[in-house]
Amino acid sequence: MADPAASGTSGKVVIRNIGLLLSGDIDRPILDADTIVAQGGRIVAVGREPDCDTSRPDLVVDAKATCVAPGLIDSHVHPVFGDWTPRQNQLGWIDSTLNGGVTTMVSAGEVHLPGRPRDVVGLKALAITAQRAFDAFRPGGVKVLAGAPVLEKGMVEEDFADLARAGVKLVGEIGLGSVKAGDEAKRMVAWARKHGLRSTIHTGGPSIPGSGLIDKDVVLEADADVIGHINGGHTALPVAHVCELCERSSRAIEIVHNGNERVAIAAAKAAIELKCPHRVILGTDGPAGSGVQPLGILRMIAMLSSLAGIPAEAAFCFATGNTARIRDLDCGLVEAGRAADFVFMDRAQHSAGRSLLESVGLGDLPGIGMVMIDGVVRCGRSRNTPPATEIPVVASAAR
């Protein structure tokens, strides 16, 4: 299938004949709509086809009565430069993840860079370079929000002001650098928040050389915006401590693929019992020692739905709208004004589930038939998922 917008921009796009439209909104995960209209890479209308202006499109996609959802967001990745990871010496990992329905990634720190600088000048330079590089380069079209400095001793408030002025919006995983004490982390988190940078803290046992145990008391004292991999990356805190974090903190509860699966289920259930499912977000925490997981977000959705008893449509919200709202992103929700990032899915061929949602609830991964970013088709039938029962068709690419 030819790229209908090789320039990377899109005109008017009409997506019709949608069988199931997932919104990304945890309060209303399924929309009563069968049509989406986008213009210039942004959603302009969502509804029933007779109520939408579908005239004079540049691109028409027939969804073939399959499911359309917001593009998935990986809340926790560790990129370096380009589409390469030295952690596994692997090329093309971001493009491969696109084939898993992920359209946006959020860096938790460029920690795998060989010789990563640990002095304040160097760590700021790396963060600014990573932010600039991935802002200009999108592997496969995937939006990588990079430039997440790992906190080191000696940083002062002016360093966070410098980073903010340079366009850096993230703080990398606290605990992977020399700052590990709760009081020190709390002071720097406050500086970061004052200057508009969102922070994530490591939770659990050490993951890479130089990291260490970050226990519940440090997490609570630091009060970072995101409780990073609350189920460990890889080694988790005791379940009782994880549930205490869910209860005593109001911050985002991030569950990752490269963590303890039993604790992941416990954390998700705790969020449901505490009536705060809007706080749950998903990541892979890759690349890592366990490798790259192109289908990691889909696997998390299927696991939480099938083993934690969370409706599949709600689990998809964990990886879309919840993350978008917590991280202040312009994607992740199917509503006017948002980025036209979509994943087209259907039940995998021969799944025991009779529908996409039922199949995911049984633990099966969906088949991806197409991924669109900013209104541009970036891949057709996924090379990584099981084949979908039905796939969408580009019905027209001309006025």
Q: How far is CA 333 from CA 135, 164, 357, 377, in A?
A: 21, 26, 18, 18
CA distance 273 to 174: 28
Q: How far is CA 327 from CA 10, 62, 118, 163, 200, in A?
A: 25, 32, 26, 17, 11
Q: What mean pLDDT value characterizes the chain?
A: 95
> Would you state the structure tokens that stand for residue 384, as one six-digit string?
């990584």
Residue 6 lies in a domain: no
115 and 246 belong to one structural domain: yes
Do 244 and 121 reside in the same domain of the chain? yes
Number of domains in the chain: 2
Q: Is 186 left (phi over 0), alpha (psi -120 to 50) or beta?
A: alpha
d(CA 261, CA 240): 15
Peptide bond into 76 cis (omega under 30): no
What pLDDT is recorded for position 3? 37
Cβ distance 387 to 117 under 8 Å?
A: no
- Asked if residue 396 has pLDDT above 90, the reply is no
| Two tokens, residue 273 | 């019992």
- Whole-angstrom Cα distance, residue 239 to residue 203? 12
CA distance 39 to 43: 6
Please identify, among 244, 274, 294, the residue that sits at the C-terminal boundary of a domain. Answer: 294
Residue 88 lies in a domain: yes
Listed in sequence order, the residues at least 6 apart from 366 whose beta carbon sits closer than 8 Å to its beta carbon are: 67, 298, 345, 346, 347, 348, 356, 359, 360, 385, 388
**Local structure of residue 338 (DSSP, 8 states):** S
Establish if 56 belongs to a structural domain: yes
Model confidence at 8: pLDDT above 60: no
pLDDT tens digits along 246-291: 999 999 999 999 999 999 999 999 999 999 999 999 999 999 988 8
Average pLDDT over residues 210-227: 92
Q: Are 131 and 199 contained in the same domain?
A: yes
Q: Check whether the bond before 287 is cis (ω within 30° of 0).
A: yes
My answer on whether 61 and 80 are in the same domain is no
Pull the structure tokens for residue 82: 């380009």
Are residues 204 and 214 in contact, defined by beta-carbon separation less than 8 angstroms? Answer: yes
Same domain, 47 and 160: no
Average pLDDT over residues 317-328: 98
Contact indicator for 206, 143 with CB cutoff of 8 Å: no
DSSP output for 5-16:
TTTS---EEEEE
pLDDT at 4 over 50: no
Report the distance separating Cα 156 and Cα 160, nearest Å: 7
Say if residue 157 is in the same domain as residue 108: yes
Residue bearing tokens 């004079």: 56
Tell whether 303 is covered by a domain: no
Residue 320, in any domain of the structure: no
Which of 294, 320, 348 is the C-terminal boundary of a domain?
A: 294
Q: How confident is the model at residue 398 (pLDDT cuts 50, 70, 90)?
A: low
83 lies in the same domain as 39: no
List the one residue out of 12, 7, 75, 3 whose CA is nearest residue 41: 12
**Tens digit of pLDDT for each residue in 339-348?**
999 999 999 9
CATH number at residue 22: 2.30.40.10
Using one digit for the tens of pLDDT, what is the confidence trace for 101-158? Answer: 999 999 999 999 999 999 999 999 999 999 999 999 999 999 999 999 999 999 999 9
> Which domain, by its residues, includes 220?
72-294
Q: Is the domain of 263 the same as that of 364?
A: no
55 and 152 in a common domain = no
- Judge whether 316 lies within some domain: no
AA letter at 99: N
Residue 299 lies in a domain: no
| 41 and 112 co-located in one domain | no
Q: Which of 241, 267, 294 is the last residue before a domain boundary?
A: 294
How far apart (Å, rounded) are the C-alpha atoms in residues 228 and 218? 13
Q: Which helix (H) or strand (E) holds 246?
A: helix 239-248
Please, are residues 202 and 214 in contact by the beta-carbon 8 Å criterion?
A: yes
Q: Is 135 exposed, middle or buried (0-12, 13-18, 19+ CB in 10 A)?
A: middle
Domain co-membership, 93 together with 23: no
How much is the pLDDT for 378?
Answer: 97
Tokens (6 digits) for 159? 């360093």
Q: What CA–CA distance (Å, rounded) separates 80 from 316?
A: 27
Q: What is the mean pLDDT of residues 228-249?
A: 96
pTM assigned to the model:
0.96
Q: Does one domain contain both 63 and 85?
A: no
CATH of the domain at 224: 3.20.20.140
Residue-level pLDDT at 196: 98
What's the gap between Cα 211 and its chain centre? 23
Question: Residue 384 and residue 62: Cα distance in Å, rounded?
Answer: 22
Contact 86, 116 (CB under 8 A): no
User: What is the per-residue pLDDT for 209?
Assistant: 66
Domain assignment of residue 349, yes or no: yes
